[in-house]
């Protein structure tokens, strides 16, 4: 399988200069598929957690955005129970930027643009309790 130069360059850059708190490793048998481990950001309910994600670059990349999904359960208004992420900025960004954007989303949940309506409602009606639940889930599933 031949990869576009752009993917090769982005992968090399990720390996040489990883984003802080993010490890992205391409599969040897499919270099469009990455295993990602993301540390929960400081000053967030996810601090101390280590979250597994998968990232896949579709054939149409970079015209089509990377597909990214949380494999680790997480209590977040913008991430649904299947691990899908509600993030407009996934469109046409470099792999590194997409991962940094997801990390930023962990620091700043946006219950006004939810993917998990029940979690968003919890964040809106009782943010302190919702953050506590996020912390508990982090300890249970991402420790």
Per-residue pLDDT of the chain (143 residues; tens, 9 = 90+): 678 999 999 999 999 999 899 999 999 999 999 999 999 999 999 999 999 999 999 998 888 888 999 999 999 999 999 999 986 655 657 889 889 999 999 999 999 989 999 999 999 999 999 999 999 999 999 98
Full-model pTM: 0.91
What are the catalytic residues?
86
**Strand, coil or helix: 52:** strand
- Whether residue 119 contacts residue 81, with contact meaning beta carbons closer than 8 Å, is answered with no
Domains belonging to the chain, first-starting first, are 5-141 (3.10.110.10)
């Amino acid at each position: 399988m031949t990869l576009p130069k752009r993917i090769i360059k982005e992968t090399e850059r990720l390996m040489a200069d990883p984003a802080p708190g993010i490890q992205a490793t391409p599969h040897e048998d499919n270099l469009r598929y990455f295993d990602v481990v993301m540390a929960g950001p400081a000053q967030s309910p996810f601090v101390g957690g280590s979250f597994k994600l998968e990232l896949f670059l579709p054939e149409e990349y970079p015209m089509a955005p990377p597909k990214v999904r949380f494999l680790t359960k997480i209590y977040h208004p913008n991430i649904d129970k299947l691990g899908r992420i509600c993030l407009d900025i996934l469109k046409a960004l470099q792999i590194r930027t997409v991962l940094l954007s997801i990390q930023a989303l962990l620091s700043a949940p946006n219950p006004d643009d939810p993917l998990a309506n029940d979690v968003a409602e919890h964040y809106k009606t009782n943010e302190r309790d919702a953050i506590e639940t996020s912390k508990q889930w982090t300890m249970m599933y991402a420790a």
